[in-house]
Amino acid sequence: MTDAVGEIERLFIYACWDASMDGTLIFSALWVMLPAYIPNNAAVVAGGGLPVDGGRTLNGNRLLGDGKTWRGILLGTLAGVCVAGTLNISAPFVQMIGFNPIRFSLRAAFGLAFGAMCGDLFASFLKRRMGKQRGAPLPGIDQLDFVCGALCVTTILAPGWTFQVFNVALIGVVIIVTPLLHVMTNIVAFVTSLKDEPYWT
């Protein structure tokens, strides 16, 4: 049974990796996830203000921490929705160079953006429950929390759009590419002093 499961996992990884070699699929993955990639970065730039948890604690640890603020959530979500709108406007021009870009409904745009923020909030809550301080790494969760949040919220708000757009191959490419982009953007944020935490968080 274990060998069978291992073989399925290897086949899935191979299929995703093979699919990721398709430039069109990589483009589609980056395009459709951009409204989810932007919010947390926008929240870092626009951070500050009232913490979401209001300074409350649970078992001696903050619920979320000072890094998660209402202003960050609001402006981060707004930034993601604006990115989706910009992509919709750009779609006809992108078609002219041979790609067939995905259009975003308002619900899908909001779901991707707000869902990304929710995923990040959940990761912070989980870290605090584990006794980890702000900036402490949690490999895997740090890189994919906002992806899971975006997919979950978008599935609730725009199920038809979600199931039409996200197939197994596309999700696989997102899972492969996102951690790499996450590390790269955090390196830039850390080097430019937009983040106080190390690049892997």
In a domain, 91, yes or no: yes
In a domain, 103, yes or no: yes
In a domain, 68, yes or no: yes
In a domain, 127, yes or no: yes
CA-based radius of gyration for the chain: 18
Number of folded domains that form the chain:
1
In a domain, 3, yes or no: no
Amino acid at 83: V
Residue 110 has pLDDT above 60, yes or no: yes
In a domain, 97, yes or no: yes
Residue 12 has pLDDT above 50, yes or no: no
Choose from 7-16, 81-90, 188-197 the range with maximum mean pLDDT.
Answer: 81-90
Choose from 30-34, 98-102, 197-201 the range with maximum mean pLDDT.
Answer: 30-34
Domain of 96 in residue numbering reads as 32-176
In a domain, 24, yes or no: no
Grouping H, G, I as helix, E, B as strand and the rest as coil, residue 61 is: strand
- The arithmetic mean of pLDDT across residues 23-49, rounded, is 85
Please give the angle made by the CA atoms of 121, 86 and 182, to the nearest 5 degrees. 40
User: What is the rounded CA–CA span in Å between residue 78 and residue 112?
Assistant: 11
- What pLDDT is stored for residue 21 in this prediction? 47
Q: Residue 40's closest CA among 4, 92, 76?
A: 76
- The arithmetic mean of pLDDT across residues 95-114, rounded, is 92
Q: With pLDDT > 90 as the criterion, what percentage of the chain qualifies?
A: 38
Residue 197 has pLDDT above 50, yes or no: yes
In a domain, 170, yes or no: yes
